Amino acid sequence: MIGEVSSVKFKCRNILFTTIVSLLFLILSSCSSSETVTTSSSQEVEISSDSSQPSLEIAVKEVEPVVPEVEPVLPVTVLDHAGNTVIINSVERIIPLDGSVAEVVFALNLGKNVVATDRSATWPPEASELPQIGYQRSLLAEPIAGFTPTILIGTDIAGPEKTLDDLRRLGYPVVIVPSESKIQGPAEKIRAVAKALGVPNRGEILAATLESTIAANTQFIDEQKRPVVAALYIRGTGTQLVLGRNSATHWLINAAGGKNIADILDIDQYKTITAESLLRAEPDILLVPSAGLDSVGGIDGLLEVGGISQTPAGINRAVLAYDDQLLLGNGPRTGDLLEQLVADFQAILAQIKNN
């Protein structure tokens, strides 16, 4: 009896299996020799079973290229980084309130419209040759208003706030753009400046190129193999600081393959240089703005600053100096700076290894 039941079950399974196979064959046979499938992006993909035809044909939609504006598209309304809604009707007379913004304006091919800059604008050379309105942190409304600007653009460093409020009350559009000390910061600044000036496409092209350069040069190295790098801000004997995580140098050092002393010493803003802290962190490389290095008489003078001469960097004279605006500005040349930092870090490490 048990054998008969098993036999019946086996026969049923056979019949069921045969039925399923037959149905599948009929379904496949009823399909045409080619099928058209619509993908999630609404592109048509043709799959052909005819051996005389390509097995896969994909109709790819072309991406529209970003076309730079011939002239600024105005008026434009922006919500700036300070939370203010600003209407810009003209960009004929631009005043950048700091050097990095001035550099962006020139990179957007609107340098001819800049009528004045602050003292920190050192690049491009034509920016430094323009009349100056003072220093970005200590601006006065009267000299700025004397240039009858149609737009003022700065970062949150610009001030004091009373001066900016006075300029707004006088009817001058004041736009504050982001200047975050992070890897995305330079591109964000470029896009914000470009939008305020009515040339967002020019900004997108510039920002995308910069992002590509940064991505191509960012280093991924084991923590143990990274040189310890200290970014210093020096102004003679009066100002001698270790820069922290909130400086643009922080992400640059990490991206270039270094280990930042700010992380070792837990510094966010900045800290006065002391022999104790430097000897504890043991930096292999010192990174300084060139004007700061000049202010203490070059490398020899820098080695006299608290404890530096006793560090590995001091012993090997491993000091890298770059233009102040380039190093600290987080501007449109930052990708090129990163590429240079990578090469310089590697050269110093090779030199130390050979000594």
Q: Please check whether residues 208 and 247 belong to one and the same domain.
A: no
Overall average pLDDT of the 281-300 stretch: 97
Say if residues 253 and 286 touch (Cβ distance below 8 Å): no
Q: Strands (DSSP E) along the chain, which ranges? A: 34-38, 44-48, 56-58, 76-79, 85-88, 94-96, 151-154, 174-176, 228-235, 239-243, 259-260, 270-272, 285-289, 319-322
Question: DSSP 3-state helix, strand, coil percentages of the chain (rounded to 5)?
Answer: 45, 15, 40
Q: Please check whether residues 244 and 200 belong to one and the same domain.
A: no
Q: Please check whether residues 211 and 226 belong to one and the same domain.
A: no
Q: Please check whether residues 233 and 340 belong to one and the same domain.
A: yes
Overall average pLDDT of the 40-61 stretch: 42
What digits encode the pLDDT tens for the residues 186-209? 999 999 999 999 999 999 999 999
- In the chain, the number of structural domains is 2
Domain that holds residue 102: 76-215
Q: In the listed set 170, 197, 215, which residue is the last one of a domain according to the structure?
A: 215
Q: Please check whether residues 237 and 346 belong to one and the same domain.
A: yes
Output the six-digit token pair for 131: 């009349």
- Answer yes or no: is 240 within a domain: yes
298: alpha, beta or left? (left if phi > 0; alpha if psi -120 to 50): left
- Domain of 335, CATH number, reads 3.40.50.1980
**Rounded CA separation 207/186 (Å):** 8
Which residue from 160, 196, 331 is spatially nearest to 252, judged by alpha carbons? 331
- Answer yes or no: is 281 within a domain: yes
What digits encode the pLDDT tens for the residues 137-170? 999 999 999 999 999 999 999 999 999 999 999 9
- 56 confidence band (pLDDT: 50, 70, 90): very low
Q: Please check whether residues 226 and 347 belong to one and the same domain.
A: yes
Q: Please check whether residues 198 and 106 belong to one and the same domain.
A: yes
Q: Please check whether residues 190 and 86 belong to one and the same domain.
A: yes
Q: In the listed set 215, 236, 253, which residue is the last one of a domain according to the structure?
A: 215
Q: Please check whether residues 81 and 211 belong to one and the same domain.
A: yes
Q: In the listed set 159, 189, 215, which residue is the last one of a domain according to the structure?
A: 215
Average pLDDT, the chain: 86
Query: In this structure, are strands 259-260 and 228-235 parallel, antiparallel, or unpaired?
Result: parallel
Q: Please check whether residues 268 and 162 belong to one and the same domain.
A: no
Q: Please check whether residues 91 and 208 belong to one and the same domain.
A: yes
